[in-house]
Amino acid sequence: EAGVVQSPRYKIIEKKQPVAFWCNPISGHNTLYWYLQNLGQGPELLIRYENEEAVDDSQLPKDRFSAERLKGVDSTLKIQPAELGDSAVYLCASSSHQGQDTQYFGPGTRLTVL
Amino acid sequence: TQLLEQSPQFLSIQEGENLTVYCNSSSVFSSLQWYRQEPGEGPVLLVTVVTGGEVKKLKRLTFQFGDARKDSSLHITAAQPGDTGLYLCAGPTSGTYKYIFGTGTRLKVLA
């Protein structure tokens, strides 16, 4: 069974540029999460989807971040414009359904903003 | 606000040594999880503990959930270089499906 796929793995951009990350969850998983992880720290939830509905986006900085999960499968996280402080690893995870406690993480996208 | 604090933050030991990592909170959690994350990869779930006082073993790793369900520990016996990584605890916030993660313990086992 294929795991959670993320792309790109690495991205370097200049500040004020836009950037987008893509995530393909494990087949059949209804719940999808985007996390931000700063170096050496634990992941912090940005947004959680249940199918195509964003059920928790309270930690998403909506002035510059947006996300979508069309058709309840793949998801895209966008930052526009990027700031220096956005440099981090962006992790995507999925679970079979809300309340199922096993989250499967992708390898992440490491973003560097210059 | 529920928080999970882990200690120590960093740990560097020789192969064959034993170690314990702690995860503490002032809040009660219905369950706690432990993950290991290797460089360039996402966290991988090791175990979930759900009952106060519960002890679970995974080969050389022993996980314990505190009686009051506010803390947990991870003990590694005879550490090996393959145990190197970032160890994270995580738990669901009260009444939600949102998981918060601890601050992490970075372990390095030297051959």
Do the chains contact at A40 and B106, CB–CB below 8 Å? yes
Which residues from chain A sit within 8 angstroms of residue B93, using beta carbons?
Answer: none
As a whole number of angstroms, the distance between CA B111 and CA B107 comes to 13
**pLDDT, position A100:** 63
Do the chains contact at A42 and B40, CB–CB below 8 Å? no
The residues near B84 (Cβ < 8 Å, ≥ 6 apart) are B38, B107, B108, B109
Distances B83 to A74, A103, B38, B77, B109 between C-alpha atoms, Å? 33, 21, 9, 10, 7
pLDDT, tens digit, for every residue of A29-59?
999 999 999 988 999 999 999 999 999 898 9
The three-class DSSP label of residue A40 is coil
pLDDT, tens digit, for every residue of B10-68?
999 999 999 999 999 999 999 999 999 999 999 999 999 999 999 999 999 999 999 99
As a whole number of angstroms, the distance between CA A28 and CA B92 comes to 23
Q: What is the mean pLDDT of residues B68-84?
A: 96
Q: What is the mean pLDDT of residues A19-28?
A: 96
Amino acid found at A19: V
pLDDT, mean over chain A: 93
Q: What is the mean pLDDT of residues B86-108?
A: 91
Distances A103 to A5, A60, A111, B69, B82 between C-alpha atoms, Å? 14, 19, 22, 21, 22
Residues 49-108 of chain A with CB under 8 A from chain B are 56, 91, 93, 98-99, 101-108
**pLDDT, position A2:** 81
Give the number of other Cβ atoms within 10 Å of residue A67's Cβ. Answer: 20
Under 8 Å CB pairs connecting chains A and B tally to: 52
**pLDDT, position B96:** 76
Q: Is the pLDDT of residue A1 over 80?
A: no
Cβ atoms B56, B47 nearer than 8 A: yes
Which residues from chain A sit within 8 angstroms of residue B42, using beta carbons?
Answer: 4, 91, 93, 105-108
**pLDDT, position A52:** 92
Do the chains contact at A101 and B100, CB–CB below 8 Å? no
**pLDDT, position B25:** 95
**pLDDT, position B16:** 97
Give the number of other Cβ atoms within 10 Å of residue B97's Cβ. Answer: 18
**pLDDT, position A98:** 67
Q: Is the pLDDT of residue A101 over 80?
A: no
Cβ atoms A38, A105 nearer than 8 A: no
pLDDT > 90: what percent of chain A? 82
**pLDDT, position A37:** 97
pLDDT, tens digit, for every residue of A64-99?
999 999 888 999 999 999 999 999 999 999 998 766
